[in-house]
Amino acid sequence: MHATNYFRSTFPLLEIAKVLDPTSLEMDPPEAARDAFERVTRASYDPPVTTGRDEHLKLNCPCCFDENEFDWPWLKQDGTGWAQRGFQAQCPICNHTVSHEVSLL
């Protein structure tokens, strides 16, 4: 599977199994897959070891492609932080709602 297909297809369980160390259960994907992830998500492949409510990351709106980044917390009390399942952010430029699904388009 080509690296960019990781983000445009169904969950790549067989591809993950190929790069999963059976002893440590750590993933070591090809560099091309890491690069594709970082290019598409604009986030580091290796997440921070720990995050707190006071830590933020820089986001760009996938709708308006504004070059001005905006901060969004990793964790929020309402569950809409970047590292949370219910991630949703409001673009301060165009007011578009950004989610994990939208940020991968």
CA atoms of 55 and 53, how far apart (whole Å) = 6
pTM of the prediction? 0.51
Alpha carbons 48 and 45: distance in angstroms, whole number? 10
Read off the pLDDT of residues 10-47 as tens digits, 9 standing for 90 and up. Answer: 666 777 778 877 777 677 888 888 888 888 777 777 76
Task: Tell me what the pLDDT averaged over the chain comes to.
Answer: 76
Domain borders along the chain are 3-41, 56-103
Choice between 89 and 9, residue whose per-residue pLDDT is larger: 89
* Res 10: pLDDT: 66
**Which pLDDT does position 49 carry in this prediction?**
64
Residue range 56-75: average pLDDT? Answer: 80
